[in-house]
């Protein structure tokens, strides 16, 4: 009998001797180093006490081993060592600068612990080194500095699928460990559940599983290629849908005008997202240029390449309007950098779409854009183009030029989001006693420093018009002039009607005994608050009301009719070690609102003690 055997898949690569052991060894060493750094951070021990040393070590330990694991077997030893050394030096330099710029800046840590890198640095280092590693790996495999586009395409997509499935493998590994721990708990054995809760176990296991997954996906490229091809085919058929949607959107602008677009205050972000989706889907349709796309997909890709121009142009204009009205912020600088990259794609794709055989022209655009992205990221996370430095300098320039007054100057943004540059700028403003507005600035800065957490939604937004946002009851009543003149963007915990346009609140005055003057009670759709005035005419939030109080029609009609009075608290507050802790009564709004005969408790909060707010 003749026995036939299936031929081996030529796309599956035999692992070179020692590669698997080396990769797993790198993963275990990475886990050990990360565990030691984590322990130092939690215990505030060296080197976590030296941010300029700790953050570079942390970022190098996270990223460089992944580069080494991926490069093993695809680069010569000399090439890999040079690339790892260069990558480590770049990561360390950028992380060191990130640590320096964050020294003294606000950190929302719930407890004392070691320094942390900024989220922006983590995100863009991962993205930047993904692109850079694909470029270096392709060049090393072809033996030239600029490889062919086919090589870039294969390498980048392979890396992307590898990383995605390695992350999935790690997640499944932890699900299995959790399941095993629960099985042992059924028979009163808790050794595994205790082990997986410890960092000495969880961190090395995670890096070990990730290294194993990277190796398994690397030696079976046929599987990776099959997954990639399926994903690209599915994505390519989404392109006609997105093209029709964007065409409809642009056509609608001819009838609606641009004002509704600008009024959203998020037009730039949405348009930039549409441009990014176009770039991804056009490349999914083209792939590496070898396989012809379906006619409807190819036509959609050509139209999408042209539509990129107006989409990116609108996003740039939307950002320019926001910058003109409110100046630069860190987010807007990052958005401008993304728009620069988007403009490169839009210009290149539109020019290619005008030529015959245009899809093959996209190769040069994609390669050039990859280098542009790396260059932009290096500028953004260096002193040259630091978004916080640019935004702080711009806000100071607006103050000096009179575009904003001391009363509307956003000191909170500089304090909470300006990093080192913002803190130093506030110190300079305080020290400049020659300024005529120095007393007001000092008052504003001192108030911001008392805040524990920032109000992110307040930063650089259009302020509401209080006359349009507040319904004062009973009719004919007036709020204090100091209340109407208050800059509420500098006050924490306020309802939405004091922060943004379009939100409404009912307002009435009641003497709750918290200050010499009557308090102002605001009830919004979601949030309510009691506000009190100090001797300097500065208003602060004294307490909060039951959420969604306005959802009860019976109570809403009562306070509008003036049926509101102060009532003593049913329970006394607690005092712990001399610190007053306010007691919150249990209140089922839905139950009491449905019961028409039940007496709804008076929404009278105890004034928040200043010391309690700082705890």
Largest CA distance in the chain: 105
What integer is the mean pLDDT of 264-278? 91
CA dihedral over 545, 549, 555, 557, signed as positive or negative: positive
pTM recorded for the entire structure: 0.75
- pLDDT of 34 over the 60 cut: yes
- pLDDT of 609 over the 70 cut: no
- Distance between CA 514 and CA 516 in Å, rounded? 7
328, two tokens: 């630069």
Q: Give residue 612's pLDDT.
A: 34
- pLDDT of 372 over the 80 cut: yes
Q: Give residue 176's pLDDT.
A: 97
Short-list 483, 479, 415, 485, CA closest to 444: 415
| CA 350 to chain centroid | 31
What integer is the mean pLDDT of 224-245? 91
- pLDDT of 353 over the 70 cut: yes
Residue owning tokens 């989409």? 311
Q: Give residue 375's pLDDT.
A: 95
What integer is the mean pLDDT of 205-230? 90
Q: Give residue 457's pLDDT.
A: 43
Which region among 174-183, 363-372, 456-465, 555-564 has the lowest average model confidence (pLDDT)? 456-465
Residue owning tokens 């010391």? 611
What integer is the mean pLDDT of 416-442? 89
Q: Give residue 610's pLDDT.
A: 36
- Distance between CA 405 and CA 408 in Å, rounded? 5
For residue 31, what are the contacts with CB-CB under 8 A and spacing of at least 6?
A: 203, 204, 205, 206, 207, 208
457, two tokens: 């939604």
The pLDDT-based confidence of 459 (bands split at 50, 70, 90) is very low
The pLDDT-based confidence of 410 (bands split at 50, 70, 90) is confident
- pLDDT of 29 over the 80 cut: yes
pLDDT in tens, 501-518: 667 888 888 887 766 778
- pLDDT of 8 over the 60 cut: no
The pLDDT-based confidence of 285 (bands split at 50, 70, 90) is confident
| CA 282 to chain centroid | 26
Q: Give residue 456's pLDDT.
A: 47
> Phi and psi for 558 in degrees, rounded to 5?
-70, -50
Does residue 154 contact residue 202 with C-beta atoms inside 8 Å? Answer: no
Which region among 121-135, 506-520, 578-592 has the lowest average model confidence (pLDDT)? 578-592
Within 494-604, where are the H helices? 553-560, 589-594
Within 257-329, where are the H helices? 259-263, 267-286, 295-326
Average model confidence (pLDDT) for the chain? 84
| Beta bridge partners of residue 125, listed in sequence order | none
Q: Give residue 28's pLDDT.
A: 96
Q: Report the percent of the chain where pLDDT is more than 70.
A: 87
Q: How many CB atoms lie within 10 A of CB 265?
A: 16
Q: Give residue 295's pLDDT.
A: 87
Q: Give residue 588's pLDDT.
A: 64
- pLDDT of 2 over the 80 cut: no
> Phi and psi for 145 in degrees, rounded to 5?
-70, -45
Does residue 420 contact residue 98 with C-beta atoms inside 8 Å? Answer: no
Q: Give residue 611's pLDDT.
A: 38
- pLDDT of 297 over the 80 cut: yes
DSSP for 135-190 reads HHHHHHHHTSSS--HHHHHHHHHHHHHHHHHHHHHHHHHHHHHHHHHHHHHHTT--
Q: Which residue has the higher pLDDT, 526 or 78?
A: 78
Domain boundaries, the chain: 19-229, 237-380, 387-457, 463-613
Does residue 435 contact residue 512 with C-beta atoms inside 8 Å? Answer: no
Q: Give residue 395's pLDDT.
A: 93
CA dihedral 551, 555, 561, 566 (to 10 degrees): -130
- Distance between CA 238 and CA 301 in Å, rounded? 11
Which region among 219-228, 390-399, 560-569 has the lowest average model confidence (pLDDT)? 560-569
Q: Give residue 10's pLDDT.
A: 41
* Phi/psi-derived region of residue 144, left when phi > 0, alpha when psi is between -120 and 50, beta in every other case: beta
CA distances from 95 to 26, 33, 38, 51, 607 (A): 22, 17, 17, 9, 44
- Distance between CA 21 and CA 69 in Å, rounded? 11
What integer is the mean pLDDT of 165-169? 95
For residue 339, what are the contacts with CB-CB under 8 A and spacing of at least 6?
A: 268, 272, 312, 315, 316, 319
- pLDDT of 267 over the 80 cut: yes
- pLDDT of 551 over the 80 cut: no
- Distance between CA 61 and CA 37 in Å, rounded? 9
Range among 422-426, 560-564, 579-583 with highest mean pLDDT value:
422-426
| CA 434 to chain centroid | 39
- pLDDT of 606 over the 60 cut: no
Q: How many CB atoms lie within 10 A of CB 195?
A: 14
Which region among 193-197, 300-304, 305-309, 538-542 has the lowest average model confidence (pLDDT)? 538-542
């Amino acid at each position: 009998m003749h026995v036939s055997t299936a031929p081996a898949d030529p796309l599956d690569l035999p692992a070179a001797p020692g590669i698997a052991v080396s990769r797993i060894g790198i993963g275990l060493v990475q886990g050990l180093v990360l565990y030691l750094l984590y322990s130092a951070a939690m215990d505030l021990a060296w080197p976590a006490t030296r941010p300029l040393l700790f953050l570079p070590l942390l970022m190098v330990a996270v990223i460089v081993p992944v580069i080494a694991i991926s490069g093993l077997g695809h680069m010569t030893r000399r090439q890999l060592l040079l690339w790892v050394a260069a990558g480590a030096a770049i990561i360390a330099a950028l992380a060191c600068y990130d640590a320096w710029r964050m020294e003294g800046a606000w950190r929302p840590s719930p407890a004392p612990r070691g320094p942390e890198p900024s989220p922006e640095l983590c995100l863009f280092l991962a993205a930047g080194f993904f692109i850079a590693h694909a470029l270096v790996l392709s060049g090393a495999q072809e033996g030239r500095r600029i490889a062919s586009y086919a090589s870039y395409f294969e390498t980048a997509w392979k890396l992307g699928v590898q990383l995605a499935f390695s992350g999935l493998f790690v997640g499944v590994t932890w699900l299995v460990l959790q399941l095993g721990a629960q099985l042992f708990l059924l028979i009163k054995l808790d050794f595994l559940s205790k082990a997986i809760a410890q960092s000495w176990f969880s961190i090395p296991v995670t890096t070990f599983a990730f290294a194993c997954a990277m190796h398994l996906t690397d030696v079976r490229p046929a599987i990776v290629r099959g997954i990639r091809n399926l994903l690209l085919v599915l994505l390519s058929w989404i392109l006609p849908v997105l093209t029709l949607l964007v065409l409809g959107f642009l056509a609608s602008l001819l009838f609606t005008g641009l004002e509704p677009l600008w009024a959203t205050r998020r037009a730039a972000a949405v348009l930039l997202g549409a441009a990014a989706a176009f770039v991804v889907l056009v490349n999914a349709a083209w792939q590496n240029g070898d396989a012809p796309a379906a006619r409807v997909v190819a036509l959609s890709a050509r139209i999408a390449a042209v539509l990129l121009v107006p989409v990116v142009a609108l996003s740039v204009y939307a950002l320019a309007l926001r910058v003109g009205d409110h100046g630069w912020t860190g987010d807007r600088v990052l958005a401008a950098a993304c728009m620069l990259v988007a403009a490169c794609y839009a210009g290149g794709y539109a020019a290619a779409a005008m030529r015959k055989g245009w899809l093959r022209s996209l190769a040069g655009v994609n390669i050039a854009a990859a280098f542009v992205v790396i260059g932009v990221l290096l500028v953004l996370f260096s002193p040259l183009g630091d978004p916080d430095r640019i935004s702080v300098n711009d806000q100071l320039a607006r103050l000096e030029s009179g575009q904003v007054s001391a009363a509307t100057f956003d000191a909170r943004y500089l304090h909470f989001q300006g990093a080192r540059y913002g803190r130093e700028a506030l110190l300079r403003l305080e020290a400049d006693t020659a300024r005529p507005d120095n007393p007001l600035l000092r008052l504003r800065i001192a108030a911001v420093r008392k805040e524990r957490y920032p109000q992110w939604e307040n930063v650089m937004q259009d302020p509401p018009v209080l006359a349009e946002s507040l319904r004062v009851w009973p009719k004919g009543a007036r709020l204090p002039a100091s209340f109407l003149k208050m800059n509420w963007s500098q006050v924490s915990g306020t309802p939405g009607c004091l922060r943004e346009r379009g939100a409404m609140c009912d307002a009435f005055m009641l003497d709750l005994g918290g200050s010499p003057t009557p308090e102002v009670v605001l009830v919004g759709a979601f949030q309510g608050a009691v506000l009190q005035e100090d001797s300097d005419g500065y208003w602060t939030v004294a307490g909060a009301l039951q959420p969604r109080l306005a959802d009860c029609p019976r109570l809403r009609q009562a306070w509008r009719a003036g049926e509101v009075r102060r009532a003593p608290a049913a329970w006394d507050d607690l005092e712990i070690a001399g610190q007053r802790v306010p007691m919150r009564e249990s209140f089922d709004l839905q139950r009491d609102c449905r019961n028409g005969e039940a007496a709804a408790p008076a929404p009278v909060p105890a004034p928040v003690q200043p010391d309690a707010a700082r705890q």
